[in-house]
Each structure stands twice: as structure tokens, then as C-alpha cells.
Amino acid sequence: MFEGFIDERVDVGEVTLRVRHSAPGGPPVVLLHGHPRTSATWHRVAPLLRSAGYTVVCPDLRGYGGSDSPPTTPDHAPYSKRAMAADIRALMQRLGHDRFAVAGHDRGSYVALRLALDHADAVTALAILDGIPIVEHLERCDDRFAAAYWHWFFFAQPGKPERAILADPDAWYGGDPDAMGAEAYAEFRAAVHDPATVTGMLEDYRAGLTVDREHEAADRAAGHRVSCPLYVLWSRRDDLEELHGDPLAIWRDWADDLRGGHDIDSGHHVAEEAPEALAAALQKFFDATVPAEADGGRY
């Protein structure tokens, strides 16, 4: 996987992140994974974007994969999307990038949104994959949403989900090495067998229902919006559109420059199932929106 990419751990302040990145050579693009994946989920997409002329950065979010899982607090703030977004901003600065585009999938989409809201000076373009803001999900919660997203509420409970998952992580999470790729599957499997990582991933959800929702609601009430170009993609064989209708209609209330979007013929793990279609859609969006060079000659 990731042939020709640098694979290292980078200290970003509060935590150290595991990151795969290509050598600088074009506008930087950050790809943020979802649950329960790691940066390995992008192993078929990242080389395509690199070949298209982009510097590609794929970190493991805090609490996931090879990145640190710090101690939590009663308010779950160490796993807030604000904390995760600050990690990514610090990571990019340490890699020498002042401005960058970002694409986030699933849980990574919430981090990507927080990056665009909290660090608007750094984010040149935002792509959201299979996501709407957490507060929008929760305000639309009905019996259909509760049945489909039951894990959100189970994962938020203290202690019990760790016991259930760690009793048999393979049975809980499944995964197909043929679909994921043998190396990506091995990395995923190692992560879900690690107790600290499992707790870190669950803390992501606990923060989602508490501090993250509060942050999003406060932004919306204050009129804070995504100022950079926003593009929205969703998986046709997932349930986002089925549950909530047209995702673009929801995102119009959050963005000044919504460039549209569409579905992709895929199940939920789009980077693994439809990498060529996803890479082509991202490249088209980034080609139209990402500046060739930032002010001062530094990306």
C-alpha cells in the first residue's frame, strides 16, 4: 500500500499522529477516514490523486489506528472534532503546508467540517463524503434513524460497548480482506483488537452526542458558515439519502459556496469500493477550486 509515500508518526502537540503522505509537489489535499477504518482506507484513492498532481496526506485521526488515544475527560472534549481538527491543522503546518484542501468520510466528515469552520484561513476547499452535520442528524432523529444509527447511542454508553466489542472484535466489525485489500484489512483488524483504540473510537461517538453537537449548534446560531467551496458526495447503496432526502438541501444552510455533488454507485466504504469514481470526482472538484499556489509561494 501507498508505494512511494512517507509513513511516519508526527508530534502535533497533544498527541502524535500516524500519517502517510506523498512528497511535496503540488497543492496539498488531506483525506480523513471514518469509523472503524484508518488512513489505509484511502490506499486506492491516494495514489490516483498524487498522479493527478496533488500532495496527498492521509492521517489516522486521534483515537484511531496508529495514532495516540489520549485519556478522556467527563465532557469527552479530548475527542471532540474541534480537538481532532486542531490536530490536522498542526500536522499540516509541521509538514510545511499553510493552506490545504480536505475531504472527510463518515466520522472524518465531521472533522473536515470543523476544520473548515475553525480554520477557515487554512482550508481552500472542502469535500464531504457520506455525511451531514451531527446536529442535523440528531434533530431529524425518528424511529427509522434510531434503527439505522442505533450504534451512535450504544457507543455513547459508558463501558458496555467496550465489553461487547472486545469480546469478539472480528465478529463485531467484520471486514473483507478481498474488498479492503489484504494489507488494509490486516491494519484495520489490528486496530479493532487494541483496547485503547476501541475506547478512542467510542470516545469519538461520545463526543459526537455531547460537545460536538453543542459546537455545531453554537456555530449555526451564530451564523457561522463554511466559506470555502464545498462539494458533497454520498454512496448510492448507503442510507444517507434514504433517511434524510437530498443531502445538498441540508448543506445549503451551512455553506456560502456549495458547488453541488452527487451519489456514487457504492456501499458505505466508498474509498474501498469505488476508488476510481471517487478519485475522479474529487480531482474534478479540486482542479476547479484549489489554488495552484498559495500566497508567498507556500502551499
DSSP characters over 105-169: ETHHHHHHHHHHHH-TTTEEEEEEES---HHHHHHT--HHHHHHTHHHHHHTSSSHHHHHHHH-H
Residues annotated as catalytic (active site), given as ranges:
106, 268
What percent of the chain is modeled with pLDDT above 70? 98
74: exposed, middle or buried (Cβ count in 10 Å: 0-12, 13-18, 19+) = exposed
Q: Provide CB contacts within 8 A for 67, sequence distance 6+.
A: 9, 15, 16, 17, 18, 59, 60, 61
Kindly state the average pLDDT of the residues 273-289.
97
Is the pTM above the cut of 0.75? yes
Q: What is the DSSP letter of 208?
A: I
Considering the chain, what is the average pLDDT of its residues? 95
Judge whether residue 292 has pLDDT over 80. Answer: no
Q: Provide CB contacts within 8 A for 143, sequence distance 6+.
A: none
Q: What is the DSSP letter of 56?
A: E
pLDDT digits (tens, 9 = 90+) for 205-259: 999 999 999 999 999 999 999 999 999 999 999 999 999 999 999 999 999 999 9
Q: Residue 104 pairs with which residues in a beta bridge? A: 32, 128
CATH code at 6-297: 3.40.50.1820
pLDDT digits (tens, 9 = 90+) for 5-61: 999 999 999 999 999 999 988 999 999 999 999 999 999 999 999 999 999 999 999
Q: What is the DSSP letter of 39?
A: G
